[in-house]
Amino acid sequence: MDSKVYFQADALTEFCREVFIRHGMTADDAGITADVLVTADMRGIPSHGIGRLQRYVNGLKTGQMKANAETEIIRDTPVSTVINANGTMGPPVSVKAMESVIEKARNNGASFACVYESNHFGIAGYYAMMALKHDMIGIAMTNTAALGVPTFGRQVMFGTNPLAFCAPAEKEGAFVLDMSTTVVSRGKIEVYDREGKALPHNWAVDKTGKSATDAGKILDDMFHRYGGGILPLGGLGEMFGGYKGYGLAVMVDILCSVLCGAPFGSQISDTATSSARVSHFFGAIKIDNFRNAGEFRGDMDKMLSQLRNTPAAEGEEQVYFAGQKEMEHEKSARKNGIPLSPSTINNLGKIAGELQIEFPASVNKNKGE
């Protein structure tokens, strides 16, 4: 039985937008931030969706996230930009940075940007996908508060440090790789904590370096730096390539922070109620600088179709390429509504009550029954 309740995307977006406006954001910036959160839920990524609204509200209340801080361009060239966000909300400054990167790539073939003194920006794929309609390859990544333990370690030394890489196709849509460089993001552990579920083995380790299954305990231990944290991609030790995820996480820190002189690794910490100040990196590459964009999209269709149609392992329905499941989830969400868990609805209801804003009505309960 499906215990989730379904809501229209537009209604949830408008609700979040109004919440942000009530906390001092401009209508435009509030709309961007709301769209980033709801897009995550539409694409089946609830760990970064509207369930995070309370942390954003907390950040605005405490001043960790500033509603209307003036951003500052520190360095600017035809192919690069460095932006001091001055503590403003992550999504609006990230959208503007990616728009600048795309415009520069249109004129110069490729462009990159670093943004520091920013805040949580949602799903990395949102920004990388902005390049797709311009026949460009999009890149986005961010560091986070230290939550990951290095191979053979037991203390957090880097963030979940997600990265996204997108390439346009035609009939197949697009290749959209959007992933953390740890086994999972903290958001997924928060989902398990909210739902009272034990963590799967090989997601995280405790302060002794052994596998941890108590979501609430590991979240608390990571926050207080008692020891333990999330494992890098590949998991424990070297046998399954954990050192590769570890290396990717450090790469993200280099591009997001070391490149522009911002805090990195264990220097970055969350507050008790909100997320840490973090840094981002964005890029766009104009496909026409290498070959005809239409021909590129045609070959992408061939590649993605071949991947999608390759024989599946026994007991599995099919093989997926990166972004395919999210595209399918988005199509379903547009038709049937966005599914939210009871705990998320309860938290959103509290926010609505505090601000005396009407929470949207569901469109169809238990859609999957």
Model confidence over 292-343: pLDDT tens digits?
A: 999 999 999 999 999 999 999 999 999 999 999 999 999 999 999 999 988 8
**Rounded Cα distance, 184 and 161, in Å:** 10
pLDDT band at 369 (very low <50, low <70, confident <90, very high): very low
> Around 18, how many Cα atoms within 13 Å sit in the side-chain half-sphere?
17
| 38 Ramachandran zone, left/alpha/beta (phi>0; psi -120 to 50) | alpha
Q: What is the pLDDT of residues 137-146, one digit of tens each?
A: 999 999 999 9
The CATH architecture that domain 69-183+233-309 belongs to is 2-Layer Sandwich (3.30)
Q: Does 367 score more than 70 pLDDT?
A: no
249, containing H or E segment: helix 242-256
Q: pTM higher than 0.75, yes or no?
A: yes
Sketch the domain layout of the chain as residue ranges: 7-68+323-362, 69-183+233-309
Q: Which residues of 299-336 are buried (b: 16+ CB within 10 A; e: fewer)?
A: ebeeebeeeeeeeeeeeeeeebbbbbebbebbeebeee
Residue 361's Cβ-count burial label (10 Å; 0-12, 13-18, 19+) is: exposed
Domains 7-68+323-362 and 69-183+233-309 share a fold: no
Return the SS3 of 321: coil
Taking residues 213-238, report their average pLDDT: 92
Q: Specify the pLDDT at position 2.
A: 58
Work out whether the CA dihedral 232, 233, 238, 240 comes out positive or negative: positive
Q: Specify the pLDDT at position 187.
A: 78
**Rounded Cα distance, 47 and 36, in Å:** 13
**Both structure tokens of 167:** 């390439």
CATH topology for the 7-68+323-362 domain: Hypothetical Oxidoreductase Yiak; Chain: A, domain 1 (1.10.1530)
pLDDT band at 366 (very low <50, low <70, confident <90, very high): very low
Return the SS3 of 348: helix
pLDDT band at 368 (very low <50, low <70, confident <90, very high): very low
The residues, ordered by sequence, that sit 6+ positions from 78 with a Cβ below 8 Å of its Cβ are: 104, 107, 108, 111
Q: Which of 119, 48, 47, 115 is nearest to 76 (CA)?
A: 115
What proportions of the chain, in percent to the nearest 5, are helix, strand and coil? 45, 20, 40
**Rounded Cα distance, 160 and 145, in Å:** 8
**Both structure tokens of 152:** 């053979």
Residue matched to tokens 């790539």: 105
Q: Are 21 and 304 in contact (CB under 8 A)?
A: no
**Rounded Cα distance, 139 and 137, in Å:** 7
